[in-house]
Amino acid sequence: MTGARQHLDRLWRQGRDFLGSELAILGGAMSWISDRHLVAAISNGGGFGVLACGSMPSDRLAEEIAATQERTVRPFGVNLITLHPELDALIDVCGELGVGHVVLAGGLPSSAAIKRAKDTGAKVMCFAPALAIAKKLARAGADALVVEGTEAGGHIGPVATGVLAQEILPEMGRQMPVFVAGGIGRGEAMLSYLEMGAAGVQLGTRFVCARECIAHPNFKQAFIRAAARDAVPSVQVDPAFPVIPVRALANQATRRFIEFQHEVIARFRDGTITQRDAQLEIEHFWAGALKRAVIDGDVENGSVMAGQSVGLVKSEQATAEILVELVEQAVAMLAGRETRQPAVN
Ligand SMILES: Cc1cc2nc3c(=O)[nH]c(=O)nc-3n(C[C@H](O)[C@H](O)[C@H](O)COP(=O)(O)O)c2cc1C
């Protein structure tokens, strides 16, 4: 087994060196979920926790970073949404508090934002949804990339993780650390991406039912009950009214959203409201919905964002146990191969 563990450590050495953690496993930032408790637990367990800033103002972010620093001496990162109106101030807060890694998410970051974050001394990670964008981000100064496929929970792109990994890893994996995310629930899958050239992996869904995670018990129960097929992308009913694709568990809210779009679009068609107002109403439907599910526990009327790997979440577990399990599964896979007899023709 030790040979297999050494093999794993060689495979993700680049990721471990980049993150400064024992395991190259990022706990992907999840708004309302990835707070001081979960982030510190992931980093203390040897992984790399990432705080979700979401829509927090800069003083709240500062408070959360400081509270996380009180709970762990290990490195962790901060995820900032590029569309946040106070992005520059948030980057500065990360700099003032000595955050080592800033993840710029939720849209293509500007070169200026990447530079500002790098100027604080932080390493900057960005999401690359296609090879052309990966190259652009590398030119703009990103230090590492996250490649996230459509199996993931939350906001998603259209392409599967396995396809994006094949598109981006062979070319970018040699130049810079590339972390693969979306649909990873077990160590064997993690290993397969490392063998394809990933520096490490990022998991979100798998950490929601961590004991240290503050999500409401109803939210965790919904994860434990759900099958992979229950985590579905948001439905858009009319090409003229775009809907931001989000993967979440099907519930009353996802069903109501379809009816709601039809009602709003009918009001536009009969001239009651303008197209712009109709679009705004559709966008507004989900305002506050993630908090409603995660914090208030209303898993029928809120948004239960979850990836397809939700089908692999079977119980509440300590964060450290989840991390150990992922490593053990990868190591067992490697060890099994080492002891297997060579095939005879
Ligand atoms: C409930 C939930 C909330 C999320 N919120 C964010 C977010 O605020 N910012 C972000 O960059 N990614 C967010 N994500 C994506 C995760 O960081 C991570 O990349 C993703 O969960 C990985 O795929 P997986 O769910 O298949 O493990 C969220 C995911 C979930 C499930």
pLDDT tens, position by position, 159-212: 999 999 999 999 999 999 999 999 999 999 999 999 999 999 999 999 999 999
The verdict on the CB of residue 149 being under 6 Å from ligand 1 is no
**Domain assignment of residue 60, given as a range:** 2-203+315-339
Residue 305 burial (CB count, 10 A): 28
Give bridge partners of residue 232 from the DSSP assignment: 248
Which is more confidently placed, 129 or 339? 129
Instruction: Kindly give the number of the ligand 1 atom that is closest to the alpha carbon of 294.
Output: 1
Q: Round to whole Å and give the CA distance between 55 and 325.
A: 33
DSSP per residue over 179-220, as a string? Answer: EEESS--SHHHHHHHHHTT-SEEEESGGGTTBTT--S-HHHH
User: Which phi and psi (to 5°) does residue 158 adopt?
Assistant: -90, -10
* pLDDT the model gives residue 278: 98
The encoded tokens of residue 214 equal 């503050």
Kindly state whether residues 197 and 232 are assigned to the same domain: no
DSSP state for residue 232 in the 8-state scheme = E
Rounded-to-integer distance, Cα 250 and Cα 342, Å: 46
Q: What is the pLDDT of residues 111-167, one digit of tens each?
A: 999 999 999 999 999 999 999 999 999 999 999 999 999 999 999 999 999 999 999
Mean pLDDT value across residues 101-109 = 96
Are residues 39 and 183 located together in one domain of the fold?
A: yes
pLDDT at position 129, please? 95
Report the pLDDT value the prediction gives residue 58, as an integer from 0 to 100. Answer: 98
Contact 207, 117 (CB under 8 A): no
77 and 178 inside one domain = yes
Looking at the structure, tell me whether residues 262 and 157 fall in a common domain.
no
Q: What is the DSSP letter of 310?
A: G
Question: Do 102 and 248 belong together in one domain?
Answer: no
Is residue 345 scored above 70 in pLDDT? no
> pLDDT at position 109, please?
97
Ligand 1 centroid to Cα of residue 27, in Å, is 9
Site to substitute for ligand 1 among 205, 290, 310, most atoms within 8 A of C-beta: 205
Residues 57, 134: one domain?
yes
| Residue 2: pLDDT band with limits 50, 70, 90 | confident
Site to probe by mutation for ligand 1, drawn from 25, 26, 31, 310 as the one with most ligand atoms within 8 Å of Cβ, is: 31
Query: What pLDDT, on a 0 to 100 scale, did the predictor assign at position 204?
Result: 98
pLDDT at 343 over 80: no
The number of distinct structural domains making up the chain is 2
Integer Rg of the chain from CA: 20
Q: Residue 82 domain-assigned?
A: yes
